[in-house]
Structure 1
Amino acid sequence: MRVLRWLLAALLVAAGVSHLTWGRRGYRIVVPDWATRLLHTDKDAIVVGSGAVEIMLGAGLVALPRERVRLGAAVAAFFVAVFPGNVHQWQTGRSAPLLDTDTRRFVRLLLQPLLLVWALAVALSPER
């Protein structure tokens, strides 16, 4: 399971870096208007914050292997928390980096449960 943990960490860090750099502007499209009202902030802050969280979670999975249960659960919770943004993007049909067609946006929705299962597998499987 170490390989799955490291791969998940790499995915999270890469996604987080994209939120802070080349994809930052495009990812604002994914943020629903209700999220800015709920969190009392703007879309850019949500994109930057989610990117920072992704980087921290990914780094934690590598740097703190003994905390994989808690971190895996936190990653799973994060995937649940961002899912409404993916649904919003699919419903509105708005393009974001790498998600520029209805098919890609729909496939992204289908991948979310797999990411959730992956995070839970990292959390619940013994380290080998």
Structure 2
Amino acid sequence: MSLRTRSPLLLAGLMAGAGALHLAVPKVFDATVPRVLPGTPRTWTYASGAVELALAAGLAHPRTRGAAARVTAGFFVGVFPANVQMAVDWRHRPRPQRAAAFARLPLQLPLVLWARSVARGADAP
């Protein structure tokens, strides 16, 4: 299996794992929901988990991969405020937790670029 074939499936696995975690242990993610959003944090946690699972399914299937990868890139941009919220909220936590929260911020860019790469690969002949 080539990297071109494996990369979308790895991204699908990442999204499926994240989606499953949002649904299985929502309390962990509730705290990262920006407080300016309407409704309850749990609603946003469940909604983002469901979206991640749907994107994983779209990424896994070659026919929907290109569109799902583009939406995944947008999703990564859209959840960036949650990572900022986490970094702000965790700035006074012990050093390892604080470092993990701040490390998430620059990781969004490679995720966006990965999703865009999968989209380009899916659209290529």
- Provide TM-score, normalisation by structure 2: 0.87
Matched with 2:76 is 79
Q: Which structure 1 segments of 5+ residues have no match?
A: none
Query: More displaced, 104-113 or 42-51?
Result: 104-113
Question: Which residue identity lines up with residue 97 of structure 2 in the other structure?
Answer: T
Q: How does 1:14-53 map to 2 (within 5 A)?
A: 14-22=17-25, 24-36=26-38, 41-53=39-51
Q: Which of the residues 86, 90, 110 maps onto 1:114?
A: 110
Question: Which residue identity lines up with residue 73 of structure 2 in the other structure?
Answer: A
User: Structure 2 vs 1, CA of residues 45 and 83 (structure 1 numbering), >3 Å: closer, same or farther?
Assistant: same
**Distance in 1 separating the partners of 2:67 and 2:74:** 10
Q: Is the 8 A contact 1:29 1:94 kept in 2?
A: no
User: Structure 2 vs 1, CA of residues 16 and 94 (structure 1 numbering), >3 Å: closer, same or farther?
Assistant: farther
Question: Which residue identity lines up with residue 10 of structure 2 in the other structure?
Answer: L
Give the % identical residues. 36
Instruction: After TM superposition, give the deviation of residue 91 of structure 1 in Å.
Output: 1.3
Instruction: After TM superposition, give the deviation of residue 67 of structure 1 in Å.
Output: 2.2
Q: CA RMSD in A?
A: 1.8
SS in 2 for 1:66: coil
More relative contact order in 1 or in 2 (CA 8 Å, sep 6+)? 1
Q: How does 1:66-105 map to 2 (within 5 A)?
A: 66-93=63-90, 101-105=97-101
Aligned pair count reads 118
Matched with 2:11 is 8
**Distance in 1 separating the partners of 2:12 and 2:66:** 14
Question: Which residue identity lines up with residue 35 of structure 2 in the other structure?
Answer: D
- Provide TM-score, normalisation by structure 1: 0.85
